[in-house]
Structure 1
Amino acid sequence: MQLLKKFFRKKIICKGIVSLSFLQNGIAVAVSEFTKNNALTLVHCEFIDIEKPEDQQNTLNELANQHNLAEYDCHLVLTTDNYRRVNVETPAVADNEIIEALRWKINELIDFPVDKAIIDYYQAPMGVRSNSRKMLEVIASPIDLIKKQIEKCTKAGLRLKVIDIQETALRNLAVHTPENERGIALLYLQEFSGSLLIQKNTTIYVSRQFEIGYKKLSLAEPFSNNPSANAHNTLALEIQRSLDYVESYYGILHIPALVVIPLADNTHNLLDSLGSNLGIAVRAIDLSSLIDCDILMDGRTQSLCAPVIGATLRYAIEAT
């Protein structure tokens, strides 16, 4: 992606990567260090609860000093409420005119002024149908929001190199699953929303957001006794429709598994629900064992920090 490329032109030798994300109730951070063979090992990961957004700067300053984060490249991960994704047909213009053409195309499709937005895009994969068209996934984010987050990073002395989005960060995790070459579906549930990603060999074929989070599923109750069965069925239907779409539009047959980012609690009840409603294997993935990692992470840390963990793997994915 070309997001803010003018700000970040050159990679420099560094100790590793620190990835962070500003959430409404805290900061998620992950730190990976380069090993002797230039691989990356996760050495620190935590979610810091912060009640007041105005306290984020001081907390980040303390974190940067404690872990010497100025020695690392910084990757900032936007949360899904920080940007909008729009799928549009590739404009028939020169490369240097694409951004302006995309502004015109998405003008009425986003809920903030397009002239006050940062626009980025990546090429969507081609479908197998004869009438398939070249499409772009367009990412738009309010420039004022981006500037505020950049300012927090620079005030803390961080060397901001990359601004990433949740979809590509989670893709970096999915690539490490054994099913990567056949295709893999990944489910990431947050408190009030969820994301489904289907990728194969680093290419994202489906990325869907839905308003079903783990709160709505009432997972403290076993699936067989759960009064929120309608929400469980709706979630399974969203996933199945996406699997069917990948098969019919892209010709990717039989995605072998759905992997689930662990929740803080009751992940097993979620797996029981999905396993009862879907015709593919469903399992949770322990990020501590999925990637090269020197630490153990509980379910809550993995749930809150999965995108920033994935963002630390960006250089490794780009090198493949």
Structure 2
Amino acid sequence: MGLFAKAKKHEGWLATSFSAEGVCAAVVKRRAGDKPLVQAAVMYAGRKPLPAATLEKMNRDVHAQSYRSTTLLGAGEYQLLMIDAPNVPPEELKTAVRWRLKDMIDFPAADATVDVVDIPGDKNGPGRAQSLFAVAARNSAVAQRQALYGECKIALSVIDIPEMAQRNIAGLMETQGRGLAMLSFDGEGGLLTVTSDGELYLARRIDVTVAQLAETSDTQRQQYYDKITLELQRSFDHFDRQFHFITVARLVLAPTGSDGLHAYLADNLYMPVEALDLAALFDFSKVPDLLAAGGQARFFLALGAALRQEGMPA
């Protein structure tokens, strides 16, 4: 199975995201002319590796066979790298990318499942070497996830990554022709993405967790805020140099379940900073618990992964 394998068309997606606390499962149905409907959102507590019984319960609770299923790898199970696209025929692309990655990833390339995501260039500019994102996932992580779902009789259609889930949510908010920066935090750290017209152009990890944002010490919390601000400034400077044809209009801060960071970033960045309420993007009428910021933070990536649709760029 490729990381971004295509699934047969079926109504709705069931997406799962794993954390140190357990697994979150969300079912989302896109609707023409209306907000995506969140049909279910449930969390099952437990430490990794989760026993098959946990997913078997999820299977029964949300009727997993009724939906196409996708799951997200954790931050330590893959690497995402931006590289120049090799000048090879399409059928040789992944082989060429694997060879190029052998000195760039922290595990043997022979032990990697590799996939690629195109990064569009400037449509109105002179020709330049096309870039792409290369995703290298550990074969062991992919095999373990497939085995877990297979044991529970859940047909897993796609194995995805958090950057693409966050891109999907950003796509609900973009202004045509402008860039949108989005920043989220979970137990594995922060994730900054910049998207435009539904395409991912930048993805950066920030070494600050959602638990650290809730730090009770004002001094410690201030240090985390300063670190995040510096990383954002550096990332935006780099983005402006590399993608000068895209203007980033605003930064959207995903729900964190804690207060303070939004105001700090708004005071210290040159661009507008908006705090995201996912209720503005999703219909939570069937899952009212997600109206609270804490629930939105917990299910953020699962909801993004469940927004997947046929025809979107992988």
Instruction: Describe how 1:56-135 pairs up with structure 2 within 5 A.
Output: 56-126=51-121, 132-135=128-131
Cα distance between partner residues in 1 of 2:32 and 2:92: 42
Q: Is the 8 A contact 1:2 1:121 kept in 2?
A: no
Task: Report the CA distance between 1:226 and its aligned residue.
Answer: 3.6
Corresponding residue number in structure 2 for 1:190: 186
Shift in alpha-carbon separation, 1:4–1:130, aligned structure 2, 3 A: closer
Cα gap change, 1:129 to 1:241, in 2 (>3 Å) = farther
Aligned-residue offset at 1:37: 8.6
The answer for the alignment partner of 2:301 in structure 1 is 307
**2:11 aligned with 1:11, yes or no?**
no
TM-score w.r.t. the length of structure 1 is 0.86
Q: Cα deviation per residue 1:33-90 (whole Å; 9 max; x = unaligned)?
A: 4669998421111332213x35431111011112211111101121222111122221
1:84, 1:141 within 8 Å by CA — same for their partners in 2?
yes
Q: Which residue of structure 1 lines up, in the alignment, with residue 142 of structure 2? A: 146
In the alignment, is residue 242 of structure 1 matched against residue 241 of structure 2?
A: no
Shift of 1:181: 4.4
Is it true that 1:318 corresponds to 2:309 in the alignment? no
* Range that drifts further, 210-219 or 285-294: 210-219
The within-5 A match list for 1:9-48 is 11-12=8-9, 14-33=10-29, 40-48=36-44
Q: Is the 8 A contact 1:30 1:309 kept in 2?
A: yes
Question: For the residues of structure 1 that align with 2:35 and 2:310, how far apart are their CA atoms?
Answer: 7
Percent identity (aligned)? 23
Which runs of no fewer than 5 residues in structure 2 stay unpaired? none
Kindly tell me: are residues 63 and 215 of structure 1, through their superposed partners in 2, closer, same or farther at Cα, counting changes over 3 Å? closer
Post-superposition offset of 1:274: 0.9
The total of aligned residue pairs comes to 309
Amino acid at match of 2:238: Y
Distance 1:141 1:95 in 2: 21
Cα gap change, 1:220/1:241 in structure 2, threshold over 3 Å: closer, same or farther? same
Higher alpha-carbon deviation: 121-130 or 58-67: 121-130
Change (3 A) 1:103 1:144: same
In structure 1, the gaps of 5 or more residues are: none
TM-score normalised according to structure 2 size: 0.88
Cα RMSD for the two superposed structures: 2.7
What is the alpha-carbon distance in structure 1 between the residues aligned to residue 154 and residue 86 of structure 2? Answer: 37
Aligned-partner SS, 2:255: coil
Distance 1:239 1:317, change over 3 A: farther
